[in-house]
Chain A
Amino acid sequence: MTNNNLNKLLVFCVLFCAQKTSIVHGAQALETKVALLLHAEPENPKCFAEGMSDLTCFWEEDEERAGSADQYSFIYTYQNENSSECSVTALPAAGGKRLYFCRLSQTQLFVPLDIRVFRDELLIHNRSLFIELVFLLDPPANLTLTSTGTQGQLKASWLPPSLKYMGDSMMYEVSYTMAGSHIGKVEEVQASSELILRGLQSGTKYKVRIRVKLDGISYSGYWSTWTDPVLMETMPGDLDPLIVSLSLIISLVLTLLSLLVLMSHRRFLLKKIWPIIPTPESKFQGLFKVYVFASLEYETRYEEWLGHSTGGLWLRPAYFYSEEFPAPLEVLSEVSLGPALPSSALPPKASEALGEEDEDEKLKRVDSALMEGWRETPQEHWPMDQLRAIHQHPAPWTQSSLLESHDAYVTLNAQNHSGEEPLDDILEETLPLQVLFASGRTSSESRSDLGSFQQSSGLGRLSSQSSFEYPNHTWPPKGPGYTYMAVADSGVSMDYSPMSSSKIDDIGKGVIYTNEYKNEIPAHRRPIGTPIHFAF
């Protein structure tokens, strides 16, 4: 028994508390609606319907004028019906006022309703209304925001007020603003319970609220109060695929353009990045030297020669004095050349030597020129001469042996020379540096390894060519086989052309050079006549 009583008491308490909560909640809702209608409805009494079968009317009175609820009478009359009375209740209000309420629990719609309010038999309010036109609904419940999966969109869904027959007459207003902002947008939707908000910013928090009203065709009323705002963040911004693809295309196009520009100007760029070491070949033709052999003595000779030629305009010993000297492959014994030969006789005779002359005479003349050039040097070695001499005479040379050698050739191709002395000078300057091998007849055919020297100072052209390939040359190599290397020395750079030959015999019989002389003098070199040949 005691337990049962306790249980009943407990249940009663719970129900009472729940009811109290709902009453409190109901009272709060009523307060907001009253406040809303006080603002929205000018007529008195202010009436509103919350559901399908109810009507709540109220009016406001100042405290000094207000009386008790008993003093008031609320009389309502439906069309073609008898009047009825509603009991009035009073509630205190803010600002020193009192509110008087009357609530009908059973109503008729679509008929006019006359309301009269009396205070102590005095009519204070008179109003005729249609109840279906004064609906004031509760705001929608369960407003939720969800993501639609699309950028800049949110889906708002809610629970419509549960009024039968009126679901398709309801109109909603959705207000959404960015969190923290006061500027918002409003969207209306009819007879629906969800709405997709579009055009929102990505990655932004939005505040959404909603209110409801009947559409006014069959039923009408006032806008409900706003729901409590619901916050939701939109999807974070994503790279627009269009922008990404356009950026890729533009970068690709720029890359291609830059590649094209680089390819078209690669030579220029290479010159800038990897500059070609300038060579004075074009300006100092005929300075190239081909060494079959290089020795230290020859280097000395070369230096001495450089010392002689300081006067030349186009000779810059300091400039030509290259640090690169041909590396010696073999050391030969020194050979001192003979006494100076008369030089005066040579130049004109050198010119006359073109063509068919006695070879010996030619050779002697050139030899004299050579000697003349070398007369100032105590030890004059001509590498080629030495080599040739070695070919022929392995024993130490003498000048006479050199002269007697038939293997050493110095050819001098002179053309249009008009002066002896200048030519003489030229000979002095050029001859010691060069071993001239040329076949006059085949000079045009032979591949020149040396640049042809051209003296354009009015002395005519003195071109010297040397080549290892002269089919008809009279350079009978005899003697032991030799492997040697030809070196072209322009004074600035050295061009080594390796070649091998088991026998010296083969030198002139075929092409020995496999590498073409790079400092080939272009076509302005004039073909010369038959070179002067002389043999030792």
Chain B
Amino acid sequence: MSSISGLVAVLLTVLQWAGRGLPSPVRPICDPRVLDRFIMEARDTENALRGCKAGCGVTGTFVVPLTNVDFVVLETKDTEEQALEVQSGLFLFGQALGAVRESVSRAAVKSLIDNNKSNIHSLGQVLRSLHIKDLSLSPAPAVGDSATRKVSSLSELLRVHTNFLRGKVRLLLTNAPACQQNST
């Protein structure tokens, strides 16, 4: 009897663990300060690693999304299109930052990169809360190469990363329908 109760307890614990990973309905995160914090941390990382000698030992090229925003053009795009752009871009950045982390040797740089990576992951959560599918973990989205470009240095990568967050991601979150209902 005691062994059975122990098994039951273990089962419950395992199920609870698994239950954490399952998606659950969350409140829409509409506070712009959430993304603002991510932006500021990305900027701090960019500033900190700008003077890195020899690119902090990072070599290779990284595919990054385009960050330009034309408001006139933006008006013509709907939310889904914007969301697609954002999600593919976040995916690309995740990949690139992962590759950078493998290249760098200094612990301080590693921690900064890790922080940005976790921020990207958190952004996926935010998008999910706004009922926008998170494709950052899924395979490469169906976005053409025109929407991407290549960078060859860490500083450039981080700058593009910051611009992407400030621009497209923020505009998407500001215009999210889930948040528009709350605001006037």
Contact = CB atoms under 8 A, between A and B. Distances in A.
A18 interface: no
Nearest to A81: B68
Contact of B68 (A52, A110, A164, A165): A110
B69 interface: yes
Interface stretch (B12-20, B112-120, B124-132, B165-173): B165-173
Interface string A250-289: 0000000000000000000000000000000000000000
Interface residues of A, number: 19
B71 A110 contact: no
Interface in A61-110: 78-80, 106-110
A79 B170 CA distance: 20
A52 B71 contact: yes
Given A80-B149, A168-B32, A218-B36, A108 B170 contact: no
A129 to B, nearest CB: 13
A217 B149 contact: no
Name A's interface SS: loop
Given A53-B72, A78-B68, A109 B167 contact: yes
Contacts of A169: 32
A79 B69 CA distance: 12
Contact of A109 (B32, B71, B174): B71
B66 interface: yes
A110 B168 contact: yes
Contacts of A109: 68-71, 167
A422 B105 CA distance: 141
B92 interface: no
Contacts of B32: 168-169
A170 to B, nearest CB: 12
Contacts of A132: 166-167
A111 B164 CA distance: 9
A218 B166 contact: yes
B70 A217 contact: no
Given A132-B166, A217-B36, A217-B40, A108 B174 contact: no
A111 B71 contact: no
Contacts of B39: 217-218
Interface in B30-45: 32, 36, 39-40
Contacts of A164: 71
B170 A111 contact: no
B82 to A, nearest CB: 12
A122 B39 CA distance: 39
Contacts of A80: 66, 149
Contacts of B122: none
A74 B36 CA distance: 34
A217 B167 CA distance: 11
Nearest to B31: A168
Given A80-B66, A217-B40, A165 B171 contact: yes
B152 interface: no
A78 to B, nearest CB: 6
A79 B72 CA distance: 18
Scoring B39, B40, B166 by chain A CB atoms within 10 A of each residue's CB, the highest score goes to B166
A52 B174 CA distance: 15
A111 B174 contact: no
A130 B149 CA distance: 19
Contact of B71 (A53, A79, A168, A218): A53
A473 B126 CA distance: 127
Interface string B153-184: 00000000001101110110011000000000
B163 to A, nearest CB: 5
B67 interface: yes
Contacts of A108: 68-70
Contacts of A217: 36, 39-40, 166
Contacts of A53: 70-72
B57 to A, nearest CB: 25
Nearest to B150: A80
Contact of A106 (B72, B166, B167): B72
A130 B159 CA distance: 12
Contact of B174 (A78, A79, A110, A168): A168
B151 to A, nearest CB: 11
B23 to A, nearest CB: 28
19 contacts: A52-B71, A79-B68, A106-B70, A107-B70, A109-B69, A109-B70, A109-B71, A109-B167, A110-B166, A111-B66, A111-B68, A111-B69, A165-B71, A169-B32, A217-B36, A217-B40, A218-B36, A218-B167, A218-B170
Given A109-B70, A110-B166, 5 more contacts: A110-B167, A111-B163, A132-B167, A218-B39, A218-B167
Query: When A and B form their complex, which 5 residue pairs have the shortest distance between CB atoms, in order from nearest?
Result: A110-B167, A111-B68, A108-B68, A52-B71, A110-B163
Interface of B: 32, 36, 39-40, 66-72, 149, 163-164, 166-168, 170-171, 174-175
Interface of A: 52-53, 78-80, 106-111, 130, 132, 164-165, 168-169, 217-218
